[in-house]
Amino acid sequence: MRRAIGLSLEMMRSGRGGPFGAVIVKDDKIVAEGFNQVTSTNDPTAHAEVVAVRLACQALGTFDLTGCEIYTSCEPCPMCLSAIYWARLGRIYYANDREDAARIGFRDDFLYHEIPLPLAQRSIPIQPLLRAEGWAAFEEWDRKPDKIEY
């Protein structure tokens, strides 16, 4: 956890991103480190946890991080939490929580409130389009004999 917090401070002070750091550990060894790179890379998905997940997957040569844990300087936002679940990390440790982040201008809590709303009540309009045509890819995937489940 100290390394995640240290990354958050170091990279924020260098001007490379916001005050967030993350470390992924397997068998008590760091396999990847990530820090917030949203503003330095113009990538709104370059949160510390997502960067760390990407780097851990590359380092371990797998999309399945079972057996790994993540230490992050802040409670993961919904996007990062989803990435952590998709990667199958076994445990999450965090320092600051979403209320702490909100106090300094990061509104992760807005997304936590937005997601459970019915589609028609969300702040960004969302609607299905060409569903029947889109289903063709799902049908083909369902029949694909050599697919890699994930």
Residues acting as catalytic residues:
49
* Spatial separation of the C-alpha atoms in residues 12 and 78, rounded to whole Å: 22
d(CA 31, CA 3): 12
Residue with tokens 């969300």: 122
Angle at 49 between CA 47 and CA 52, to 5 degrees: 110
